[in-house]
Amino acid sequence: MRFQKRLRSFLYFYAFTLGIAYSLSANDQPSTQDNYPPNYPEAFLLGVVEGVTEYLPISSTGHLILVNHYLKLDEPTPILDGKGEPIQIKKNGTERTLTLQDAINAYSIVIQGGAIIAVVLLYWRRIVTILQGILGRNPEGLLLARNLIFAFLPAAILGLLLDDIIEEKLFNPTSVCIALVAGGILMLGTEYWKKRSGKEQSELSLHELSISKCLMIGFLQCIAMWPGTSRSMMTIVGGYYAGLRPALAAEFSFLLGLITLSAASGYKALTMGKALLILNAGPLLFGIIVATISAALAVKFLVHVLTRYGLSAFAYYRIVLAGGILLALS
């Protein structure tokens, strides 16, 4: 009965928000280089996709790539300045033309702020504990801060080295499908291992993780740089192998995501500043709000499902989705 009430409220929220999006976009034209994406309906859809998928083990980047592809928001159309000249950007010493694809990729990064805000709101007590630890007022908070830093380090190093290669080679539906299937198989194998090993009975706390286990989770997070893999999936699986209960594995994933997403968003803001400047403020803020609410609902949903059912349902979803995409592409 409680689940039905939550589902009803969930649907009411999205119906109301979608109505606002369409009313705001009544005078919008389809996205072109004179009306840079996203408009309000596109912002709504991308905000929902980002918020729902960021913390579920189904890959937010993969879903956004697919949505952008099928909405034709990833076209490499050059963006022109007021004089009708292509806008040039520099990245790693190489100059190239700024495109609409760059604009929508920048937007996808910015609305991750909504997912960050959601975790801050839901886990503010834990975040306060961490801050107290950094200030020397809470030993457990200090240990947790240490653990999160060590888990973040591998992505901080490898992300800078591999970012350009990944964007150039792997941001396409086929790569996403491969990662979706591989991740689904990994989750099914992890659930089988967990049941056989009895690791779900562990009472290990987040601050009790060893540095080696935190680094292991961190290196697994790096695998999620392949679009379609899911940062959430890899860190939750890593938490399982580190001996955490499902709810705590998810919480560690959320807190680690707070650092990782903030760093990734900051890096993209520095490297793609011109693309960010052309985004319309209204749809941008609207998308962040939708992503925040969607992510908060998704976090609650994930913890409930992991505690009661484990990762298997998400694994089957990934495999079915990949099959549907491959059929559509054939």
Mean pLDDT per block of 10 residues along the chain (330 residues) reads 53 52 47 62 91 92 85 80 74 75 80 93 96 96 97 91 78 89 96 76 85 97 92 95 92 95 82 70 90 93 90 94 86
First to last CA, the chain: 42
The predicted structure's pLDDT at residue 92: 63
Number of other residues whose CB lies within 10 A of the CB of residue 265: 17
3-state secondary structure the chain: CHHHHHHHHHHHHHHHHHHHHHHHCCCCCCCECCECCCCHHHHHHHHHHHHHHHHCCCCHHHHHHHHHHHCCCCCCCECECCCCCECEEEECCEEEECEHHHHHHHHHHHCHHHHHHHHHHHCHHHHHHHHHHHCCCCHHHHHHHHHHHHHHHHHHHHHHHHHHHHHHHHCCHHHHHHHHHHHHHHHHHHHHHHHHHCHHHCCCCHHHCCHHHHHHHHHHHHHCCCCCCCHHHHHHHHHHHHCCCHHHHHHHHHHHHHHHHHHHHHHHHHHCHHHHHCCCHHHHHHHHHHHHHHHHHHHHHHHHHHHHCCCHHHHHHHHHHHHHHHHHHC
The predicted structure's pLDDT at residue 2: 54
The predicted structure's pLDDT at residue 25: 47
How many domains is the chain partitioned into structurally?
1
d(CA 179, CA 4): 33
pLDDT in tens, 94-145: 777 878 787 887 788 788 899 999 999 999 999 999 999 999 999 999 999 9
Q: Name which of 255, 236, 238 is nearest 130 in CA terms.
A: 255
Cis status of the peptide bond prior to 139, with omega within 30 of 0: no
d(CA 82, CA 252): 47
Contacts of 276 (CB under 8 A, 6+ apart): 106, 110, 269
Q: Which domain does 96 fall in, by range?
A: 2-329
Q: What angle do CA 214, 264, 283 make, to 5 degrees?
A: 135
